[in-house]
Structure 1
Amino acid sequence: MLRQFASCFVALFSITAIGYLSEGSRVDLDATPRITITYNELSSVSRFSGRVSNYSTLLLEDERGILYVGARGAIFSLNSSNISQRRQKAIHWEVTMRKQADCIDKGKNNQTECFNHIRLLLRFNETHLYVCGTNAFSPLCVYIDSRTFNVSSNVEDGKDKCPYDPARGYTGVIVDGTLNTATRYEFRSLPDIRRKTHQLLKTEESNLHWLNDAEFVSSALVRESTNIAIGDDDKIYYFFNEKVVEESSSFLDKTQVASVARVCKVETRWRRILQRKWTSFLRQDYVCYMPFYEILRSTYTLDIGTWTQLFSTGLSSCMKNMEASTICRYNISDIQKVFEGPYMEYQDSSRKWSRYEGEVPKPRPGSCITNELRNSGYNSSQDLPNFVLDFVKLHPLMYEKVYPIDKQPLMKKNLIYNRIAVDRVKALDNVHYDVLFLGTDNGWIHKAVVIKSSVHIIEEIQVFKDPQPIENLVISKKQNSLYIGAQSAVLQIPLSGCSQYHTCYDCILARNPYCGWDGDICREIHTVGNRARMTQDMQNGNGGCLNSTADDAPVKKVRTVLKGNDVLLQCDLRSNLARPQWWVNGSDQMEDGKGHIRLGVDGLLITDTLLEHNGEYSCYSVENGLQSLVATFSLNVLLELPKEKNYSTSTSVGQLPTPASLTASKMQFVYISIITILGGLCIVLCVILLYVSCQQKRKGIYAMRNSCSPHVELQTVSSHFKEKSDDMNSYNEMCLQIIPGEAPTSSPYKIAPPPPPPPPPLPSEFTNGISTLPNMLRKMNGNSYMLLRQNEETSLPSYNSFTEELSKILEKRKHTQLVEKLDESSV
């Protein structure tokens, strides 16, 4: 019986208001991605984009090695092994100018809506594909010969198969050559589930609507007839959102619920009561956590070879400005049980739906034809009696709701997941794990694995530089790839990502079911024939690396600072789940806030260093009970710079050679030359001061004016100077005017010594690790982290002492005063 197959799961990926999630949940739902990979760090990525946009419709045919892509005005055939190769084929299907003009006349947007958006791309038979496009609000469908990738001559009207609006919710599936779709058809029609054969089959449009303003998300074929003795039929499930039907509840007037409906694969339209209507249509509501506050976003069906399927769906909630995401897992037998009753009935007096307490007719309304019904004379839906059809027409809604396993979500995140894809992987422990690929609304992919009853996020990947919603995800087991469709391009990334784990600890802590440590590198499990030497710990994520010797010890770095300065010892942790632990001299653990010590997620900061801070410092990454050495430092604190390390300044004669290249006699000559030049400069300055003191004996005042002349001219200004003309030619010999500028080189009294060149750089070991440290603020999908990163260097940066910095500031201030504001009394 179907109920006995409890191993089939239906996982619903959903979004609910974070404020309504239970604070007393039994598991930690707010999972943090272990590793963050930014766009610039991406590797092994293939990309395809053309001159069009909106690459949202994907069809993968793994056996043929082809990925079909439907975009805006074009269909592409790509090589699934590498979509960036230039062997792709393209069919351009643009709208005509007349159709575009008609679309504009309908009041539609010429920038987004009046184009041909490909909404349906499915395999029709062995030789042809079936494609439908909006065609500027005039839908059309065509057949494409997959052998030549050319459009066939016959073009069909798509008004019963494709939505007019490119933004309208839509889903479709071809079963046994028959197209089954669900959307809002025509221009102002009601939502509908249709099957297009030689005659149309659709839902009921009476006053008591089977669908209440439904917005469709996806559909799935569940082969429930496989290996079942009762002879049941396969069923098509439709997932959608709709308005709440309880009209008496005022606070629910504008809320939505997530619903699922089903119909039988084999059904013949009824000729009397339900003409052109479904006889097996039933629907039910399901919740992830909070009823009436959830909106379905995405579903995924995992086919594992039998009728058991794994569904993953998305629900979202927008309570004011609050948005969050949750993942729920369902048992498919629970969904089937709800479809067996009891039913709901609409009460006209109270204007609401309530449980139906009357007698249920036989055969049970809404069921598919089984062997038991065939033995009773009901070989098809046309044989059902009228009272059964009347009951189906008035009781399409089931009373019970479907709840997730354990009645709680697996995970919640304060961001929006647009799409989900699921892969089932067999790990080294022979257990199958479900790996979830979650696409966000800003261009990130979260890869997570379901372990027991919780979700561990292995990594988050920024796949698009410019934020944009992830619109489609497709998994290829054959190519070991994930295909990502978005507005600007299609991407292909590896499913596993084992090459990014460089140590045994990193490989084990990732808990990536695709990857295992073989003693030397982290590699994909399915590529290894003999797995005896491989190590993996999916359940605990911390075992198997104790005997590993492949992890290289980090290179010891040297930090040398003067006493009283600050020094930063950086410890860059790759994992967001790890915490740093510092040890000095191999025995004493560092504590934050003790003395001059400041501990952060990025390093150890020692302020106002003392001599007792000398020692060997080691940083360990602590995660899930494992410790791994990340960085080691040797810190030297000095009272002053060593004498042999002092360097003299160069003179205007030329750059002095380094001390190591001079002999003792040459050094003496250099020092004598410096002293001689400095003595000469002192004599020149004394002569200038004597001349200025003589000029002060004369009566008068000094005036200064700006000039563009490159010379300095001195003119005496008498007490009657203000009465004279402003013309420069009228100045007499008693006027003194100071014009800032450069003195001519011919005058020995106006020669200013050039500023000395900077001293040669000091040895690289004199550094405190702070001067080269940039800051970066990174926001990871709603989680903000302040990260301090320091470049790894083979030669350490130069040390800038406090004396040198002070000299530079004083020198800059001296020149600024002479140019900007001259002190008259000092002349």
Structure 2
Amino acid sequence: MWGRLWPLFLSFLTATAVPGPSLRRPSRELDATPRMTIPYEELSRTRHFKGQAQNYSTLLLEESSARLLVGARGALFSLNARDIGDGAHKESCHLVPQTMVKDKGTGVSTSAHSFPRLQIRWEASPEMQSKCHQKGKNNQTECFNHVRFLQRLNTTHFYACGTHAFQPLCAAIDAEAFTLPTSFEEGKEKCPYDPARGFTGLVIDGGLYTATRYEFRSIPDIRRSRHPHALRTEEAPMHWLNDAEFVFSVLVRESEASAVGDDDKVYYFFTERATDEVPNSFAQSRNSHRVARVARVCKGDLGGKKILQKKWTSFLKARLICHIPQYEMLRAVCSLDADASARTHFYAAFTLTTQWKTLEASAICRYDLAEVQAVFAGPYMEYQDGARRWGRYEGGVPEPRPGSCITDSLRTRGYNSSQDLPSLVLDFVKLHPLMARPVVPTRGRPLLLKRNVRYTHLTGTPVTTPAGPTYDLLFLGTVDGWIHKAVVLGSGMHIIEETQVFEEPQSVENLVISPMQHSLYVGAPSGVIQLPLSSCPRYRSCYDCILARDPYCGWDPSTHACTVFSRSQGSRTALIQDMERGNRGCEGNRDTGPPPPLKTRSVLRGDDVLLPCDQPSNLARALWLLNGSMGLSDGQHGYRVGVDGLLVTDIQPEHSGNYGCYAEENGLRTLLASYSLTVRPATPAPAPQAPAMPGAQLAPDVRLLYVLAIAALGGLCLILASSLLYVACLQGGRRGRRRKYSLGRAGRAGGSAVQLQTVSGQCPGEEDEGDDGEGPGGLEGGCLQIIPGEGAPAPPPPPPPPPPAELTNGLVALPSRLRRMNGNSYVLLRQSNNGVPAGPCSFAEELSRILEKRKHTQLVEHLDESSV
């Protein structure tokens, strides 16, 4: 028991040891609700792109040329960023230059800057795929060329890398012609083998900064290649990275306007095994949990001269905490304002899971760069061999400070590069890569917690509102193909809307924002989707516009519409917007939308009626008023308030009146539907009246014709009755001579008699029958039997009944031969083995017998309509 409770106890101690507000929040806050839900059928102004490829997971946006580059499985695409579904589709095969492309619509040859749609086929050869499959890899998913890296290399070329069936290759692509070169570069040091392996990469000043598990069985690594000084992380005497899965990397220009001459830094976000909390042995570390990390290196790092040669001398890493340290997994990270280090901050998406899988949720946390820098300036951890654990280092720290970049102060002391650092400093860096204090989120808690959602990717952009303040707008992709649009407010995060962007559930693998095109690009396995950053016309009234709290949207009193804010507008304060409170600004405005039409309902007393009322906002509460004043509550006087309207049961005269349905949200009340309900008394059904004799209104001659017709019909009935009586007497005289109707010879051994009997018919029991099995009615006790003749052997016995099965309501299944009765007379088929009726033939007795004998027979769902 203590072993099970220890992880929770440890998480509690870790949470309480972190400075700042408590990291735990009430459980009721674990279900943030998006205000609007937009299903796939209601999408508008979207653009789709799907080529002859799969896994469109790598996106690169070039705002200056309005191009969107897409890396997929076996292909590269260049799309028009203004409309990814537009443009001529031309394939540009590798090894064949193509500088001019003919537009499909106009037929005019244009350059690549005129936004044609270009494609490069870059697939692994069949030989490479066969070798990949021989290595035990999946030839349906893994043994292809998955493009994992796509960045601008210089003014003339892009740089792309692909897995190439577990033999990675890289290539410099001509940006103008969009073609592959005649030769490729080895990608083992730059791209992962496995297409599912975590990977991140950047091109910085011509150098390639990547982080992944490169080779087939190598350990994870952060490397710099295509640079005069290639560097990587240390592997001995301890690994700086322990089974790391990389999520994100970003360059922060900390040298810009730096007072101390600091260097630019590259930050990496990843998860790894928690070697700082368990002994560093394989038997225990393989079962340890994973933790989130942030690491950094200096862009100007050249490695050591004697110690840490071709290794990073500035590598440091720290713990990243969001909510529950022991049960969170880092999924995605984005950075905002990375060009201005003073305002740089990060947003990270975590998945929260518990040891018993009782709770799965997602959390969004924000981290300011200043807080990350403070952690890297703090105390270090060291690995204690005696305790076989990581512990806080309490000794002296050499100078210059290990892991720091070269600054103006160090240059004045003769340290012009990392190769000038003393051996004592490099030895310390080698053994102390981990910082003691964790990086905690801003405000000490998550900005958002969402139950039953797994975020896979996120991106954001700052938006300046008409009133002046700037808010961060985030887009969060889920594992099942939804996009959550959220804004960061002073009170936390507000989810403006959730949008289903793919009809078939699939994971969102990449998100890119284009403020210039006012678009969001979504990469997924099946294709790329282009969405507008805002849907302001969706809000029809002033109240609806400000309740959305979309930083792009504001109510324009002059046009009486919710419009998109543009910086080119002359008056920035003309639009009505209330981001923080979301309910002020429309008090004196009459643009509350047209009142809903009054609908009338007339219902009989004692009936039920549903008054529909659709709530467009998930955050609104339905409020029903009777005659403008009386509030209706659920379960009161026959009223049932639901999400789709008001249900009134067993209507009485006091239910008559005017009903109003209101949406009550954030202190505002909006009328959505109005009804006038009238209750009419239930009138009894009129008594049936005898039909009037037609002869009373006919002429005497016509009456005579009716009398003659009736007399003729009476005579015909008398003749028919006499004939039936004669036949009955004739059958009585032939008793004993022919007892049964048979086909062939009756009484054949092993024969069986099939008995037909109506449900309502009555047959006497065996005690009333004679030696021949004949009842008083003559025809086998009133039942017709068809006895097989000599032509065919006896059929095999029926199979045993199936095992007992219970219906969902707990009742034992009825026999399959029974049919639902709809007022018609049905025929019951019964079979006996000796030609004698098996027992009572009444429907009630036969039903009881069958239920007792075969009460475990399965109920057939789809009945054969041709059976009797």
Change (3 A) 1:724 1:283: closer
Are 2:407 and 1:381 aligned? no
* Equivalent of residue 325 in structure 1, options 327, 339, 362: 362
Residue correspondence of structure 1 range 484-503 to structure 2 within 5 A: 484-503=522-541
TM-fit CA distance, 1:386: 1.0
Aligned to 1:72: 73
TM-fit CA distance, 1:152: 2.0
* Equivalent of residue 205 in structure 1, options 226, 230, 235: 235
Aligned to 2:472: 434
Paired AA for residue 571 in structure 1: C
* Equivalent of residue 416 in structure 1, options 422, 429, 454: 454
Are 2:568 and 1:539 aligned? no
The C-alpha deviation readout for 1:651-709, integer Å capped at 9, x for no partner, is xxxxxxxxxxxxxxxxxx9x999xx99x999x98996999399739955999xxxxxxx
Paired AA for residue 488 in structure 1: S
Distance 1:499 1:561 in 2: 38
The C-alpha deviation readout for 1:535-572, integer Å capped at 9, x for no partner, is 11111111122333331111111211211111111111
Distance 1:380 1:521 in 2: 60
Are 2:415 and 1:360 aligned? no
Distance 2:712 2:247 in 1: 92
Which structure 2 residue ranges, 5 or more long, are not aligned?
1-10, 16-21, 89-116, 689-693, 745-755, 759-820, 830-840, 843-868
The C-alpha deviation readout for 1:395-443, integer Å capped at 9, x for no partner, is 1111111111221111111211111111111123311111111111111
TM-fit CA distance, 1:38: 0.5
TM-fit CA distance, 1:591: 2.7
Aligned to 2:556: 518
Residue correspondence of structure 1 range 137-216 to structure 2 within 5 A: 137-196=166-225, 197-198=227-228, 200-216=230-246
Contact 1:504 1:545 in 2 (8 A): yes
Residue correspondence of structure 1 range 89-128 to structure 2 within 5 A: 89-128=118-157
Change (3 A) 1:724 1:193: closer
The C-alpha deviation readout for 1:768-801, integer Å capped at 9, x for no partner, is xxxxxxxxxxxxxxxxxxxxxxxxxxxxxxxxxx
Aligned to 2:247: 217
Change (3 A) 1:692 1:376: farther
Paired AA for residue 410 in structure 1: L
Are 2:58 and 1:57 aligned? yes
Change (3 A) 1:449 1:532: closer
Change (3 A) 1:279 1:507: same
Distance 1:684 1:299 in 2: 96
* Equivalent of residue 612 in structure 1, options 649, 654, 675: 654
Distance 1:686 1:820 in 2: 39
TM-fit CA distance, 1:271: 3.0
TM-fit CA distance, 1:724: 6.6
Aligned to 2:825: 817
Aligned to 2:635: 593
Distance 1:447 1:672 in 2: 81
Contact 2:467 2:572 in 1 (8 A): no
* Equivalent of residue 283 in structure 1, options 308, 313, 317: 317
Aligned to 1:239: 269
Change (3 A) 1:385 1:379: same
Contact 2:399 2:425 in 1 (8 A): yes
Change (3 A) 1:288 1:569: same
TM-fit CA distance, 1:532: 4.4
Contact 1:65 1:80 in 2 (8 A): yes
Change (3 A) 1:185 1:686: farther
Residue correspondence of structure 1 range 444-593 to structure 2 within 5 A: 444-519=482-557, 520-526=560-566, 528-550=569-591, 551-593=593-635
Aligned to 1:312: 347
The C-alpha deviation readout for 1:48-81, integer Å capped at 9, x for no partner, is 0112100000000111100000000000000001
Change (3 A) 1:718 1:543: farther
Q: Which moved more, 1:589-598 or 1:218-227?
A: 589-598
Change (3 A) 1:559 1:144: same
Change (3 A) 1:26 1:167: closer
Aligned to 1:272: 306
Contact 1:700 1:719 in 2 (8 A): no
Indicate the SS of the match to 2:373.
helix
Contact 1:570 1:604 in 2 (8 A): yes
State the TM-score, normalized to the length of structure 2: 0.74
Paired AA for residue 334 in structure 2: Y
Contact 2:61 2:67 in 1 (8 A): yes
The C-alpha deviation readout for 1:135-155, integer Å capped at 9, x for no partner, is 000000001111111112231
* Equivalent of residue 386 in structure 2, options 338, 349, 354: 349
Contact 2:546 2:554 in 1 (8 A): yes
TM-fit CA distance, 1:510: 0.7
TM-fit CA distance, 1:329: 1.5
TM-fit CA distance, 1:332: 1.3
Paired AA for residue 721 in structure 2: Q
Paired AA for residue 214 in structure 1: A
Question: Which of 1 and 2 has greater Rg?
Answer: 2
Change (3 A) 1:587 1:395: closer
Paired AA for residue 312 in structure 1: Y
State the TM-score, normalized to the length of structure 1: 0.77
What RMSD in Å do the two structures reach over aligned CA positions? 3.5
Contact 2:67 2:80 in 1 (8 A): yes
Indicate the SS of the match to 1:154.
coil
Change (3 A) 1:813 1:368: closer
Contact 1:244 1:252 in 2 (8 A): no
Distance 1:236 1:419 in 2: 20
The C-alpha deviation readout for 1:432-477, integer Å capped at 9, x for no partner, is 1111111111110111111103111111111111111110010000
The C-alpha deviation readout for 1:281-307, integer Å capped at 9, x for no partner, is 111111112223222111111136522
TM-fit CA distance, 1:609: 1.2
Change (3 A) 1:716 1:633: farther
Aligned to 2:717: 691
Aligned to 2:866: none
Contact 2:611 2:645 in 1 (8 A): yes
Q: How many residue pairs were aligned?
A: 687
Contact 1:700 1:718 in 2 (8 A): no
Aligned to 1:765: none
The C-alpha deviation readout for 1:84-121, integer Å capped at 9, x for no partner, is 11331000001101101110111100001000000000
Indicate the SS of the match to 1:193.
strand
Indicate the SS of the match to 1:98.
helix
Change (3 A) 1:718 1:168: farther
Indicate the SS of the match to 1:445.
strand
Paired AA for residue 305 in structure 2: R
TM-fit CA distance, 1:209: 1.0
TM-fit CA distance, 1:636: 1.8
Contact 2:626 2:657 in 1 (8 A): yes
Distance 2:507 2:577 in 1: 34
Indicate the SS of the match to 1:152.
coil
TM-fit CA distance, 1:583: 1.6
TM-fit CA distance, 1:610: 1.6
Indicate the SS of the match to 1:506.
helix
Aligned to 2:853: none
Residue correspondence of structure 1 range 750-765 to structure 2 within 5 A: none
Indicate the SS of the match to 2:181.
strand
Distance 2:311 2:617 in 1: 56
Change (3 A) 1:154 1:609: same
Paired AA for residue 56 in structure 1: S
Distance 1:328 1:696 in 2: 100
Distance 1:282 1:523 in 2: 47
